[in-house]
Chain A
């Protein structure tokens, strides 16, 4: 009873996590990280800094070579195959290279996570049509990925990642192929989900976007993680400061 409001297990907890690919050096070093439920983070760092690698640990594509990771309150190294599968279903991923299935059309690609979960086909149809319309692809329902532009593919990848309302949404450069306006629009989709309780981590190089939304930044540098706190009022503060200087 006393513990009853402790529903809020962190979505993810990293404790001294290292990652080393077979035959390589440590790509991630001593990562200390807690993702609270319904938090929103940008993940930044130079190319090769380890952003994708960090996300891979989060979606259970790799286990750490050292250190402990807990996802949804469970230590990942103690999970069996079935439990890992169930955890993956709570996680939506937008892959850096989209990873669309070339033999499936836009509709079927987006429908995949629902079908894997065994959702009724009438439900699948309703949700997928709705979501594809939201990302502006209502006319491309039956188009195959190789007939679509980079931005369109990206939007399908995003739609597939969010279709089953994941508790954790991981997006690896989800706005790399679209203009700033569309990028913002897509981020608002993530924001909507975030408001409904989804924890979001977005790897991006887009400074403009980070500035615009002002969420805290997880910054990777040579495999080490640094958390740059929320800077919602940064823009404003900068302006005020600048103005003050002028008036001085």
Chain B
């Protein structure tokens, strides 16, 4: 049985800790829910950073008239522009053989590729860490080879993905900050309470109370306060999430279902008060042990 010799009623932690826990859990649950939803959307898109883009030089000219073939000199110009751009790792013309292989499923093996007004494709691999400046490349192309088209959808997508990954990293960072803040708050509050009750603790220590006996009272007491505050924080946060979902459902009808959380994610979110409680329990216990070292 955990004894209650320390007059906890008399210190301020009972107001302070539940509020702290309420806020921490509220923010953590919002961040987690947001993070999970973004992750789920990403997963349904099933794409990652690819690091490539394509330049097409169509087999018709700027006026829409078809022409015999794409001029080699145009290809050279495009390759030069691309290869001299920062962030471009390489640019290669897709050969006729490769084109043929690509077309085969639709056209059959007997295809004479020279007869078709196919565009020339240039495969450009880019540095995913240092994406080329697409605006400059586009304006260069427009100046020198107006018919060339830069297909950069993948790149835009890649940039978007990078931003989303940054958001997820940011959320993780916020969570780490929250954990640190919560830990320091619990340490601070415990130390404050320990100083208030110093005479009582000194006495029970003197008459034979072990460190465990004293520390467990504190740990258990803080666990209750933190868990209670955390539960309310969870309720408030989930309430807000549902409210937001309710409105976004009307705004992004197609988009929304992707973001539904799975059981594991729900489990993690619902258990946040428990984790915060355990963290508070351990932090309190260790803080008290450290404090007790001052008594012989």
Is the pair B208, A81 in contact by a Cβ cutoff of 8 Å? no
Is the pair B204, A116 in contact by a Cβ cutoff of 8 Å? yes
Is the pair A88, B10 in contact by a Cβ cutoff of 8 Å? no
Task: Check: A59 CB closer than 8 A to any chain B CB.
Answer: yes
Is the pair A115, B3 in contact by a Cβ cutoff of 8 Å? yes
Task: Check: A63 CB closer than 8 A to any chain B CB.
Answer: yes
Is the pair A103, B7 in contact by a Cβ cutoff of 8 Å? yes
Which stretch from B16-24, B40-48, B124-132, B209-217 is at the chain A interface? B209-217
Scan A93-132; emit 1 where CB is below 8 A from any B CB, else 0.
1000001011110000000110111000000000000000
Is the pair A112, B5 in contact by a Cβ cutoff of 8 Å? yes
Given A60-B296, A63-B296, A103-B10; A112-B207 close (CB under 8 Å): yes
Specify the chain B residue showing the minimal Cβ separation from A76. B296
Task: Check: A66 CB closer than 8 A to any chain B CB.
Answer: no
Specify the chain B residue showing the minimal Cβ separation from A164. B208
Q: How far is the CB of A118 from chain B (nearest CB, A)?
A: 9
Specify the chain B residue showing the minimal Cβ separation from A60. B296
Specify the chain A residue showing the minimal Cβ separation from B289. A81
Q: How far is the CB of A114 from chain B (nearest CB, A)?
A: 10
Scan B9-45; emit 1 where CB is below 8 A from any A CB, else 0.
1100000000000000000000000000000000000
Note all chain A residues with C-beta closer than 8 A to B3.
Answer: 115-116
Our pick among A102, A103, A116 for the contact of B207 (Cβ within 8 Å) is A116
Given A101-B200, A101-B203, A103-B10; A116-B296 close (CB under 8 Å): no
**CA of A36 to CA of B244, assembled, Å:** 78
Note all chain A residues with C-beta closer than 8 A to B10.
Answer: 103
Q: How far is the CB of A166 from chain B (nearest CB, A)?
A: 10
Of residues 65 through 96 on chain A, the ones whose CB sits less than 8 Å from some CB of chain B are: 81-82, 84-86, 88-89, 91, 93
Is the pair B203, A82 in contact by a Cβ cutoff of 8 Å? no
Task: Check: B206 CB closer than 8 A to any chain A CB.
Answer: yes
Is the pair A62, B204 in contact by a Cβ cutoff of 8 Å? no
Scan B164-201; emit 1 where CB is below 8 A from any A CB, else 0.
00000000000000000000000000000000000110
Note all chain A residues with C-beta closer than 8 A to B206.
Answer: 59, 61, 88, 93
Of residues 220 through 243 on chain A, the ones whose CB sits less than 8 Å from some CB of chain B are: none
Given A63-B296, A84-B296; A117-B7 close (CB under 8 Å): no
Specify the chain A residue showing the minimal Cβ separation from B8. A103
**CA of A89 to CA of B208, assembled, Å:** 5
**CA of A113 to CA of B296, assembled, Å:** 18
**CA of A155 to CA of B104, assembled, Å:** 105
Note all chain B residues with C-beta closer than 8 A to A115.
Answer: 3, 5
Scan A11-55; emit 1 where CB is below 8 A from any B CB, else 0.
000000000000000000000000000000000000000000000
Q: How far is the CB of A157 from chain B (nearest CB, A)?
A: 11
Is the pair B208, A117 in contact by a Cβ cutoff of 8 Å? yes
Among B9, B207, B213, B296, max chain A CB count under 10 A is at B207
Note all chain B residues with C-beta closer than 8 A to A117.
Answer: 208
Is the pair B208, A113 in contact by a Cβ cutoff of 8 Å? yes
Note all chain B residues with C-beta closer than 8 A to A89.
Answer: 207-208
Given A85-B208, A115-B3, A116-B207; A61-B296 close (CB under 8 Å): yes
Note all chain A residues with C-beta closer than 8 A to B203.
Answer: 99, 101
Our pick among A59, A102, A116 for the contact of B209 (Cβ within 8 Å) is A116
Given A62-B296, A63-B296, A101-B200; A88-B207 close (CB under 8 Å): yes
Of residues 156 through 204 on chain A, the ones whose CB sits less than 8 Å from some CB of chain B are: 160
Closest A-B pairs by Cβ, 6 of them: A89-B208, A103-B7, A88-B208, A85-B210, A116-B209, A99-B203
23 contacts between A and B (CB under 8 A): A59-B206, A61-B206, A81-B210, A84-B296, A85-B210, A85-B211, A88-B206, A93-B206, A93-B207, A101-B7, A101-B203, A102-B7, A103-B7, A103-B9, A103-B10, A103-B200, A112-B5, A112-B204, A113-B207, A115-B3, A115-B5, A116-B207, A116-B208
